[in-house]
A = this chain, B = another copy of it.
Amino acid sequence: MEPYQLTATQALAKFKDGSLTVEEYARSLLERIEKRDDAVKAWEYINPEYVIQQAKMLDHLPRERWGPLHGVAVAVKDIIYTRHMPTQHNSPIYAGDKPNVDAAVVSTLRTARALLLGKTTTTEFASTATGPKTRNPHDVTRTPGGSSSGSAAAVADFQAPIALGSQTGGSTIRPGSFNGIFAFKPTWNAVSREGVKIYSVNLDTVGFFARCVQDLQLLADVFALEDDDTPAQQDDFSIEGSKFALAKTTVWPQAGPGTIAALEAGAKLLRDRGAEVEEIELPAEFDRVPEWHGIILDADARTTFLPEYRFAKEKLTSLLVDHVENKSQTSRAAQLEAFDGVAALRPRFDAIAGKYAAVLTPSVVDEAPVGTEFTGDPAFNKMWTALHVPVVNIPGFKGENGMPIGLSLVAPRYHDRHLLAVSKAVGEIFQAEGGWRT
C-alpha cells in the first residue's frame, strides 16, 4: 500500500512505529495529487514547498511534543481561514486574499500537529449550488457535489485522508454521498465555527470527511466532542437487538430510484443482522422545517453579506445580492416565525430520535448528476441541519450508473459520539454487503 492510500489512523500507526516519516508520507500525497489533479481539480491552493516544510518540522519534533494528529494530512475548504495560505471563498472579491489568521478548527489541528495540505474548492461562499471546477473522482463527467466539493473529492480520491468542510444546507452530507465516503456534520456549535466564513449563523456547521469512521472518531477526540454518556456506554453498541427508526420525511417524493433502492437495502441489511427497523412519520409540524430552513437562510444571509454587497455588489453572485436586498420580501415576523418554529421542534425531535439507536434517512436525491455546473439538491439534508442534530453519511450503495449512494444516520443533539459508534457498526455492514466499498 502506498502512503497516500493510508487512512489517518493507519498513517499515525506508521509514524509511531517508525516505519514511515511524515516527509515520505507528504511526498507520496503530493505525487498522488500531481498525478490526479488534472482529472479531479480538487484544489484551490496547494504549495508543495509549504507542505514539505511542515513535514520536515514535524519529523524533527521530539516524541514528547507530538500531538494526537502527528503528521496526518488535512485538506481545508477554502472558506476556512488559514495563516500562510490564501482564503478566497471562490469569490472575485477575495481573489488572492491572505488573511493572516487561523480559523478555530485550523488552530486546533495545528496544535494537534496535523499537516495542512492546502485549500480545497468550494462554491461561491459555500452558498450556491453552482459547482467550482472540481469533478467527481469516480466519474469525471459528474459533479462531486457541493459546496464542500474539493474536500470530498480529495478524500475520495486518496489525495488526503481527512478534510474539513461545512454545512448550511447539505454541503457536507451530499458530497459525502456523491463521492462514496464518510461525512460527518456534528451537532451545531459543538465545534467552533470561528474563522469559517459565515453564511448563516443559525445553520452553519463545520463538517468532516474521511474514508473510515475511526478517523472521524480521531477528529471527535481532537475537537473534544463529548456526550453525556461515558465513552464506555457509547462504544458498547451492537446492531443485534438494537432499534432504528427509518424516516422518509416530507421530501421523500423527490427520492430517485437509487436512493429508494438504497434505503430499502439499508433497512434490510440492518434487519438481517437482528436490528428492528421501525418506519416513523414525524408529526405534521415538521413538514414546515424545509421551508423554515430557507427563510432562516435568506434572513441570515441578508445580514452576513451586507459588507460584500456594499463593497462590490457587482462581484457578488445574484443569489446573495437578492438575499441582501431581501428580494423574497420576507418580513421580520416571518423570519422570527421560522426561527422560533424550528427552535420549538428541536427538543421534540431529540425526544423522538432518543428512542432509537439512530434514525436512518436518505442523504441525497440520487447519484451525483452529470455535469459540474449543478452540485445537486440538498433536499434531504435541510431538516437535520435546521434541527442542529448530528448526521453521518454512511457510504455503501450504488445507483443505476454505478456511482456511490450513501444513507444518513441521525441522532439527537450532543449524541455525536454515540452516533459515531453506531455509524462504525452500520458502516461495516453497508460496505460489506451494500455493493459499494470506499
Contact = CB atoms under 8 A, between A and B. Distances in A.
Interface of A: 81, 98-102, 104, 107-108, 111-112, 189-194, 197-198, 201-202, 223-224, 226-228, 300, 302-304, 306-307, 310-311, 324, 326, 331-333, 335-336, 340, 343-344, 346-347, 350, 413-414
B189 A193 contact: no
Contacts of A336: 346-347, 350, 413-414
A10 B363 CA distance: 57
A379 to B, nearest CB: 26
A17 to B, nearest CB: 26
Given A192-B306, A194-B197, A332 B99 contact: no
A194 B332 CA distance: 21
8 contacts: A107-B310, A111-B307, A192-B198, A201-B201, A224-B306, A224-B324, A336-B350, A340-B343
Contacts of A333: 228
Contacts of A304: 104, 192, 194
Copies in the complex: 2
A104 B307 contact: yes
Given A332-B414, A413-B336, A307 B100 contact: no
A392 to B, nearest CB: 18
Contacts of A324: 224
Nearest to A197: B194
Contacts of A201: 189, 193, 201
A111 B311 contact: yes
A104 B344 CA distance: 30
B340 A307 contact: no
Contact of A335 (B98, B194, B311, B414): B414
A294 to B, nearest CB: 17
A166 to B, nearest CB: 14
A275 B426 CA distance: 66
Nearest to A415: B332
A388 to B, nearest CB: 9
Contact of A107 (B190, B198, B223, B311): B311
Nearest to A229: B332
Contacts of A198: 104, 192, 194
A297 to B, nearest CB: 13
Nearest to A341: B347
Nearest to A108: B307
A343 B190 CA distance: 18
Contact of A303 (B190, B202, B228): B190
Contacts of A346: 336, 340, 343
A336 B350 CA distance: 10
